[in-house]
Amino acid sequence: MKADLIGCATIAACVALLAWLVPETDVPRKTWLLAVLALAACAWFWSRHPNAPNSPKGWLKYLGYVVVIAFILIPVHAAIYGTQRRHLVFDFSLLAFGLIVVVACLARSFAKGEHNEG
């Protein structure tokens, strides 16, 4: 239970940072609450999935996967659809949300003291 709270606190802190950095003209403040709920649901699912890592090392590997996939897909998406602001905002939003979910699961794993590789 304590580990779950740490994961949720990690999500809340990351979203609060994003809400502080992103202008309200781009994202209304009430949208951030929905983002927290969606990210918490994703993190809850990912952390309890049967194939989820059982160690911080495994979650660090997932963190690398998210970054590598983003650095491949964002330029491909830009080449196909162009670099209009709305396309880039969507791509970087997916990257940020993927990173937040993995970081929350990583924090939860540290809090649980998981050591065996899954």
pLDDT in tens, 45-54: 999 999 989 8
Tokens representing 18 are: 């994003």
> Has residue 112 got a pLDDT over 70?
yes
Whether 117 is covered by a domain: the verdict is no
49: in domain = yes
Q: Phi/psi at 15 (nearest 5 deg)?
A: -70, -35
Amino acid at 84: Q
- Answer yes or no: is 118 within a domain: no
Q: What is the rounded radius of gyration, in angstroms, for the C-alpha atoms of the chain?
A: 15
Q: Which domain holds residue 85?
A: 2-112
Specify the pLDDT at position 8. 93
In a domain, 17, yes or no: yes
| Two tokens, residue 57 | 């090392």
pLDDT value of position 118: 45
In this prediction, residues 108-112 reach a mean pLDDT of: 90
Label residue 5 by pLDDT band (50, 70, 90).
very high
Q: Using H for helix, E for strand and C for coil, what is the string for the chain?
A: CHHHHHHHHHHHHHHHHHHHHCCCCCCCHHHHHHHHHHHHHHHHHHHHCCCCCCCHHHHHHHHHHHHHHHHHHHHHHHHHHCCCHHHHHHHHHHHHHHHHHHHHHHHHHHHHCCCCCC
Of 14-18, 21-25, 64-68, 88-92, give the lowest mean pLDDT range: 88-92
- Does 47 reside within a domain? yes
The reported pTM is 0.84
**Taking 50 as the threshold, does the pLDDT of residue 13 lie above it?**
yes
Confidence of residue 99 (pLDDT cuts 50, 70, 90): very high
Average pLDDT over residues 75-104: 87
Domains identified in the chain, total number = 1
Structure tokens, 113: 């003291």
